[in-house]
Amino acid sequence: MTAPLSQPFSIPGMLTDADAESAWIEVIRKMDETYANLVAQQVELERKNAELEEAQAFIASVLESMTDVLIACDRDGRIEQTNPAAERALACTGRDLTGRPLRDFLDQASHAAFARLCSAALRREGGSDVELSLRGPTGPFPVAVNSTVRYDQRGHAIGLVLVGRPIGELRRAYRDLAAAHEGLKQTQQQLVHSEKMASLGRLVAGVAHELNNPISFVYGNAHAMRRYVDRMTAYLDRVHDGASAADLAVSRKDLRIDRARADVTATLDGMLEGTERVRDIVAELRRFSSEQKHASERFDMTALLRSAVTWVARAQMPDLTVVFDLPEALEIAGHPGHLHQVAMNLVQNAIDAMAGAPSKRLELHGREEDGRIVVTIRDSGHGIPDAILGRIFDPFFTTKPVGKGTGLGLSISYQLVHDHGGALTAVNHPGGGALFTLILPAAGCREGAAQ
């Protein structure tokens, strides 16, 4: 018996229409996903490609703008890449340089240094600085090279990166700078020497004025002693010739022997006093001219200030009124010659400030307080203009005409006082004139600090 023809006929394993439609939908969905992934990957690839091109453009711009020579070599010293500065220095394009040994572009004297760099790369040593001389189109092209080892992704040394800075211009600049500095030093030495000569001139004038009195006294007493000796010799000759007592009495009266005898002692004492004064002046000169930078001794600042005024002020300004308000002694420990120079410079500055002033008065006050010696020097000049008050201790600053001053006196004084652990300041006194204040450690405080 056969089945009715209207009943569907199915073969086992065959898909129905519903199943086929579902399969096609799944295939289309998978294709959409794949396409979407391909589009996303394409977009990411294009983004990374844009970033890569941007990075390459940035690196290219950096290499282009570099003035230093950059050469990348392999382990055997063959050129792999260069920057435009290196291509300009070697007068070759990057394509012509690639693959060629760098030794071909080095002077013979630089071959050994370059060989050491390559050996260091093989030994995986760190970077080093050497000087190489490239052979440029116009002659040797010296560069100061910094060398570093280049590694691959696995950490293997694969070559060198050389960065060289041209040193020709640097050397010329250094030579010009050295020449200018040497000229400046010579000029400074000449100015310092001029200041020393000016100080020496003031010192010589003051010393000559100071020495004149005791030397004149000794000279006059020496002539008096010569007359006394002549009279006594004549009297003794008559005694030896056997003259009578009456004749000797007459001769004694005529030759004024008794007066000579009475004056001899005073005359000799005066000569000794004059020579001792000369000796003291010479001793002060020796202390003043001492060049022992580390020689420190105790001395009296009061005596030093008085001698500075005597040597400088009285010789240049006879009508000067000097007021000393100083204790009998102000003990200082330091270099007396240097501080004597400071005192002379301050007094000289006051003398210059009072030139042309109607009243010439110099006041020196000194005291000891809190372990410090404080000395003030005031003049009756016109004072210091406010515009330059903060610059008077600057080296080479002066308000005097050209040829009248070097501008180093106060600067040197400021440094010498600072070396002694003190301070030097300047202000305008309310009553007129300039007021310089010198502050120094007292003898006991400075010696204690030194210990």
Provide the 3-class DSSP secondary structure of residue 321.
strand
Q: Give the pLDDT score at 364.
A: 93
Kindly give the residue spans of alpha helices, DSSP state H, lying in 241-335: 245-254, 257-288, 301-316
Q: Which of 440, 325, 430 is nearest to 377 (CA)?
A: 325
Strands 157-166 and 297-300: unpaired
Per-residue tens of pLDDT for the chain, all 451 residues: 444 444 444 445 555 777 777 878 888 888 888 888 888 888 888 888 888 888 777 777 777 777 788 888 888 888 888 888 888 888 888 888 888 888 888 888 888 888 887 777 677 665 567 788 888 777 788 888 878 888 888 888 888 888 888 776 667 777 888 888 888 878 767 766 666 666 666 566 656 656 766 777 677 778 888 888 888 888 888 888 888 888 778 888 888 888 888 878 877 877 887 787 777 767 666 655 555 445 578 888 998 898 888 777 766 777 888 999 999 988 988 888 778 878 888 888 888 888 888 888 999 999 998 889 999 999 998 888 888 888 888 776 666 654 455 566 788 888 888 888 999 999 998 888 999 999 999 876 655 554 4
By the 8 A CB rule, do 122 and 152 touch?
no
Strands 321-325 and 361-369: parallel
Amino acid at 391: R
Provide the 3-class DSSP secondary structure of residue 142.
strand
Q: Give the pLDDT score at 376.
A: 94
Positive or negative, the CA dihedral 174, 192, 302, 392 is negative
Provide the 3-class DSSP secondary structure of residue 121.
helix
Query: Could you tell me the two tokens for 446?
Result: 């400075």
Q: Give the pLDDT score at 4.
A: 46
Q: Give the pLDDT score at 373.
A: 92
The H or E element that residue 96 is part of is helix 94-97
Q: Give the pLDDT score at 379.
A: 92
Query: Could you tell me the two tokens for 74?
Result: 């392999």
Q: State the SS3 of 280-301.
A: HHHHHHHHHCCCCCCCCEEEEH
* Distance separating alpha carbons of residues 389 and 375, to the nearest angstrom: 20
Q: For residue 441, count other CB atoms closer than 10 A to its CB.
A: 20
How far is CA 56 from its chain centroid? 48
Provide the 3-class DSSP secondary structure of residue 237.
helix
